[in-house]
Amino acid sequence: MNASHHRWLHDQLPQWERDSLVTAENAAMLRHRHPVDDSQPGVAQLIMGALGALLIGAGLIAVIGYNWDDFTRPVRLLFAFLPLLSSQVFSSIVLRKGDSVAAWVRETAAMLQTMATGACIALVSQIYHLGGQWPDFLFAWLLLSLPLVWLLRSTSVAIFYLIAIAEWSIHQCDLGKVWHHSPLIYPLLLLGLFPFWPGLRLDKPLSVTLRWIMAWSAVFGLGAAAYFATQQHFDRSWGHEEVFFALGAFTAAAITLFPLSPNALAAPSRHKPQIVLGFLYLLVFGITNTFLESGDDIVKGYAAAAKMPWAWVLIAAAAMFAFQALRTHRWAVLAVSSITLVPLVGLVFGTNASAAIPWLMTLHLLALGITLIVLEFSGRRGAPRLGAALLSILLIARMCESDLSLLAKGLAFIVIGVAFLIFNMFMGRLKARLTHPQP
């Protein structure tokens, strides 16, 4: 339940008490269990505050863009520093007042200071006719804004930071960049938001929106790192998609296995975007590699990745996270992540590996689909619908590859579709029965 659900509950409780649906004691327990935290900004308040700060910042930039030709350089420099100084004074007042300040005011102060910092750097570079590259400017800006997330606990600046580090990483994919000025440092930049990481004890839980933005930022940032590592290895900015695909699988495994706290483990899937996105990639990776002609590519991809340091960084991270996942019995996550191991097993077949891997992958996905269903029925945390979907897609993929007639394929698709719908209905009824036990 998020904050808006809590508020809704608090609004309903008086009426429920009047209707004798709950006792006063029960209502008090519910209020205690699902408290409304008024120190947290409402979504509308937060958006309005951040939007106001953004508009002022954009206005500043537009005023700067006019280029005040009639003023001397020192006067124009004063224009650059005055908004920064004003925003710093405002933020310091907010900081000194501490918890007595409304959350949206804190957000506005942090966002204003962020925008004023960017505007100041931009104006200085305009006054001295500096060319400069957008990524260099962005890098300085995001680093100078990051501490505001910590001190003012600003969600909007955290969002700005997450988008900025992903954008910077994508821009730094150029061949020839040194590693410490390339997307390979994306994980370190993400570490900048350490207190916001999932799985750590926070004074307040991370919002679902921020989790999704963080997960997408990681997808783009780590994707850029994989692309950069591939082109650096081959000293070429094109080709070798199979290596990028393999690195993507290691990245997805590491993201999926990322350690979670017990509370986060119990949360619904939409609160764990890193798992949703990681699963998606790994399942597409797995299904693609069941096709017979894909064997050569995956062997080439894994063999080349084995010579790349970045691949080993990802494998080491995934192995550490997998160890923790074993300890916390995250079987479904471990099962899906194991898709990345199949090509390694296939390599045991030596020269025949490219022929063996698609078959091994098919068997593995078959076992995985069944496992995800069985886990749920054996009282553990599984993913029965995902398992059933996986089995269906696997069957469809095999049908597409087979030489059967169109009629046979069509009938098979209908049978699979009907079976899937029946399973879906069965799971829906089972869930309803478990949620509302019969008297």
Partner 1 sequence: MKALPLILFALISLAQWAVPLSQIFRYEQTLSKGTLIRLKCSAPDPYDPLRGRYLAVRPDQDDVAIAKSAKLHRGQHAYATLKTGTDGLTVLDELQAEPPASGDFVRVTVRWESEGKAHIEWPFDRFYLNEALAPEADKWFAESIRGSKGVIAEVRVHHGTAVLENLTFDGKSFREILKQRVN
180 is a site residue for partner 1 (CB under 8 A) = no
144 is a site residue for partner 1 (CB under 8 A) = yes
Cβ(386)–Cβ(279) under 8 Å? yes
232 is a site residue for partner 1 (CB under 8 A) = no
Which among 198, 168, 43, 162 is positioned nearest to 107, based on CA atoms?
43
77 is a site residue for partner 1 (CB under 8 A) = yes
- Among the listed ranges 94-102, 193-201, 219-227, 415-423, the one in contact with partner 1 (CB under 8 A) is 94-102
Tell me how far apart the alpha carbons of residues 356 and 360 are, in angstroms, rounded to a whole number.
Answer: 6
Tell me how far apart the alpha carbons of residues 96 and 82 are, in angstroms, rounded to a whole number.
Answer: 21
Tell me how far apart the alpha carbons of residues 122 and 101 are, in angstroms, rounded to a whole number.
Answer: 31
Residues in the chain: 439
The contact pattern for partner 1, residues 12-51, with x = CB under 8 A and - = no contact, is: ----------------------------------------
Q: Closest distance between partner 1 and the C-beta of residue 178, in Å?
A: 7
Task: Please name the residue ranges forming H helices in 153-207.
Answer: 155-171, 186-191
Which among 438, 42, 1, 76 is positioned nearest to 263, based on CA atoms?
1
From candidates 37, 174, 241, 401, binder to partner 1 by CB under 8 A: 174
Q: Closest distance between partner 1 and the C-beta of residue 188, in Å?
A: 18
Q: Closest distance between partner 1 and the C-beta of residue 98, in Å?
A: 8
CA–CA distances in Å: residue 69 to residues 33, 66, 72, 73, 130 = 62, 9, 8, 9, 16
151 is a site residue for partner 1 (CB under 8 A) = yes
Binding footprint of partner 1, residue count (CB under 8 A): 44
Cβ(214)–Cβ(159) under 8 Å? no
184 is a site residue for partner 1 (CB under 8 A) = no
Tell me how far apart the alpha carbons of residues 313 and 318 are, in angstroms, rounded to a whole number.
Answer: 9
From candidates 14, 35, 59, 147, binder to partner 1 by CB under 8 A: 147
171 is a site residue for partner 1 (CB under 8 A) = no
Q: Closest distance between partner 1 and the C-beta of residue 130, in Å?
A: 7
Residue 259's contacts (CB-CB under 8 Å, 6 or more residues apart) are 199, 321, 324, 325, 328
Residues forming contacts to partner 1 in the complex (CB under 8 A) are 61, 64-69, 77, 80-81, 84, 88, 91-92, 95-96, 98, 113, 117-118, 120-131, 137, 140, 144, 147-148, 150-151, 174-178
